[in-house]
Chains A and B, each alone.
Chain A
Amino acid sequence: MTSADADVAAIQRAEEAPGREPPAPVLRADALRKRFGDRTVVDGISLRVAVGEIVGFLGPNGAGKSTSIAMFTGALRPDAGTVHVAGVDLSAQPRRAKGLIGIVPQEIALYPSLSARQNLRFFAGAYRLPARLSRERIAWALDVVDLADRADERVSSYSGGMQRRVNIAAALLHRPRLLFLDEPTVGVDAHSRDQIFAAVLRLRAELGMSVVYTSHYLPEVERLCDRFVVVDAGRVLAEGTRSELLRPLGEGLLEWSPSAEELALLPGGVQGLAARLARFGAVEVLPPPAGGGPDSLRLRAVRMADALREVAQIAADHAIGLGGIRLGRPDLESVFLHLTGRPAGDGA
């Protein structure tokens, strides 16, 4: 048993003891700050990850996400703030704390001229696994990512999806309590993505592993994660479960872009419409599109059914059509857009 295994076992025993306190978070990061020259990249980010929890860590490019992950994992020293991994202070006991962490970087952090097995043997050595345990863990990790039959081929000969899976396997050898997955599905096909999801869920089910997951592709984050943290400009903008994050956006989204002729029939124009719909949720008047045209209106409805009845009444009263109306359900993409002002495709 390695020192990392011993730490995990001790923590699990403590958690299972009768009359125990609620389990301590496996990651507790408090008020992390980091500056590069004059630029503050991370400005007081805090994060808690519970045992067995999968947390989506989201933010646009330059939000401070990668720098935060580098500090959570001990690759970068924070200027201020603390990180505890399963109760172990990362700055005071870095070797012990790092033994509890696994990181899957966004890059394919492998040596392409070596085989998957040779790569895994090297990283097992970096975690100081004894030779016999190393062989067992390599076989297990290859099984988790479903690559046991191609283990002795050079990584450079693998498809993008296979390389991503070896990238994950390299982070599992010491069976970390907390796994960071930074954009693990970039450039992979649907089949490989499903295999990666299956591997993550298996790790949680079998080992109670906690995961911090970042991705550009929000539908996959929604599908996989229990909780989400949205960061921008080095700060946490919002965090919570999906429903907690969607709540401010209301039950639904209604966008109405009447034509200039229709607006002429409405008393008060777009502003008049906004005033009539304000009691059903948050209303924004949107400027004309780039190609020209009248203003439009966006309503995040708290009471969608009532709002729709009101819209139908207005249309009937003024004999205007409903062709300019679009309805939508809020999702994580809407949350992201609402919080950062940018779509997730720009770099979540």
Chain B
Amino acid sequence: MLTMLRKELRVLLADRGAMITLFLSPIMFITVMSLALGSSFAHLGTAGKLGVCVVDLDGGTAARALAGALSGTGGLRVDGCTEAQSQERVKAGTDVFAVVIPAGFGQRIAQGAAPSVRYLVDPSAARQVVDPLEAAVTGVVLAVGAETRTGAALDRLDTVAAAQSDPALRSAVAAEVAGLSRAARTVDATTALPSGSTAVKYPTVYQQNVPGYAVMYVFFIVTVMAASILAERREGTFRRLLSTPMPRWQLLLGKVAPYLVVALVQVAVLLAFGRLVFGMALGRHPLALLPLSIALACCACAIGLLLASFSRTEAQVNGLGTVVVLVLAALGGCMVPGVFMPRFMQTIAGYVPQGIALNGYQDVLVRDGGLRAVLPASGVLLAVAAGLFLLAVPRFRFLR
């Protein structure tokens, strides 16, 4: 076994093409895609708050109250700007959204009419981001409008009460007005998660791309491993080894185990790269990454063995392998985060090994999950690996 392991690692290290595919290529992808997609991930509110600019063309008390209320809304970075600036900022993607408060905003409210505002929206922003944002801003506008009107009504009531000669009546009305005024401004609400759920957080661009491309490129071991098995068949080294005292099971295990090691090294290198170069957070329980990575490596090697069992030529290996790697990576959300995908694609991602693994990594990296959090994903990946091994081994041929 050790003999096979040493030989296989030597052969792999001497194969520059494989080294580039397994290590250099994902590092390049992580770097380039993180730089390219950094601003898109800012929209997820993780690399900073969502940018909203407010154009106040009214300048009255109600308009200032609206701007203030928006600034006080969690998750928003609110800047005041001119109408021309708002066009530029939304077009450039600096802000997702602009709220234009037209002249006469306060007057309309005072007259009892519905408050009127205009929104300017970044056309490239995801609907999943814009729609809730628009609803939230509209809610704030409604609240400010209602508060302004209620405040004015209470002021009038206060004046009427002050004019009363009965001190008891005056005092009772003042207490009701104060209570109503407080009630209009506050909501007694608490936030909770379903039992067993961890806090929902969105990944940073690095917490998406580093594990995403690590998972995607671990599966490139599928083609490297299957091609290596076919080369052993073609070049007669298996034939030679079958004639040595080495048992077949040892030969097979000796062919698979080195790729398990390589896949684990690959994940370690890429996570270390993310941590050291981009300062990516590894969560509070980084050791939980180990069982998940072992399960992921087993799954990739099982697919590699299956591919080698069913392929006769290297062209088949490359064709099928590329489909497995790229299509499943895309379905699993390794290239595009699940939050940007439609609902049915998100559902599919939950059934694809790459998606299961990526979610497991993000449980640890983003949501601070520990061993318990990754057990389900690791278990599923190991079960898939076991199933594929059972399918591959009876079909495996050492000879052409």
Contacts and interface: CB of A to CB of B under 8 A. Distances in A.
B239 A110 contact: no
| B interface, over-half SS | helix
A127 interface: yes
A76 interface: yes
Given A70-B399, A95-B245, A95-B247, A105 B240 contact: yes
B245 A103 contact: no
B246 interface: yes
A98 to B, nearest CB: 5
Interface string B205-241: 0000000000000000000000000000011110111
Contact of A126 (B3, B15, B398): B3
Contact of B235 (A76, A101, A109): A109
Interface string A92-107: 0011101101110111
A98 B244 contact: yes
Given A113-B11, A114-B10, A74 B242 contact: yes
Nearest to A107: B236
B11 A73 contact: no
A128 interface: yes
B277 interface: no
Contacts of A113: 10-11, 14-15
A225 interface: no
Nearest to B14: A113
Interface stretch (A117-125, A196-204, A303-311): A117-125
Contacts of B239: 70, 75, 103, 105, 107, 109
Contacts of A111: 7, 10-11, 237
Contacts of A128: 245
Contact of A118 (B10, B244, B398): B10
Interface string A67-83: 00010011110000000
Interface string B75-96: 0000000000000000000000
B17 to A, nearest CB: 11
Contacts of A95: 245, 247
B243 interface: yes
A32 interface: no
Nearest to A105: B236
Nearest to A111: B11
B237 A109 contact: yes
A106 B6 CA distance: 25
A18 B398 CA distance: 45
Interface string B1-27: 011001100110011000000000000
Contacts of B236: 105-109
A95 B249 CA distance: 13
A47 B242 CA distance: 21
A309 B240 CA distance: 56
B7 A101 contact: no
Nearest to B235: A107
B115 to A, nearest CB: 74
A4, A126, A170 pick with most chain B CB within 10 angstroms: A126
Contacts of A109: 235-237, 239-240
Nearest to A73: B243
A268 B144 CA distance: 126
Contacts of B245: 4, 94-96, 98-99, 126-128
A171 B236 CA distance: 13
- Enumerate the 6 nearest inter-chain pairs by beta-carbon distance, A residue then B residue, closest first: A125-B3, A107-B236, A109-B236, A113-B14, A105-B236, A75-B242
Given A75-B398, A107-B235, A118-B7, 13 more contacts: A70-B239, A75-B239, A76-B242, A94-B245, A105-B239, A106-B236, A109-B239, A118-B10, A125-B7, A126-B3, A127-B244, A128-B245, A171-B240
Interface of A: 4, 70, 73-76, 94-96, 98-99, 101-103, 105-111, 113-114, 118, 122-123, 125-128, 170-171
Interface of B: 2-3, 6-7, 10-11, 14-15, 234-237, 239-247, 398-399
12 contacts: A4-B245, A70-B242, A75-B239, A75-B399, A98-B245, A101-B243, A107-B234, A113-B14, A125-B2, A125-B6, A127-B245, A128-B245
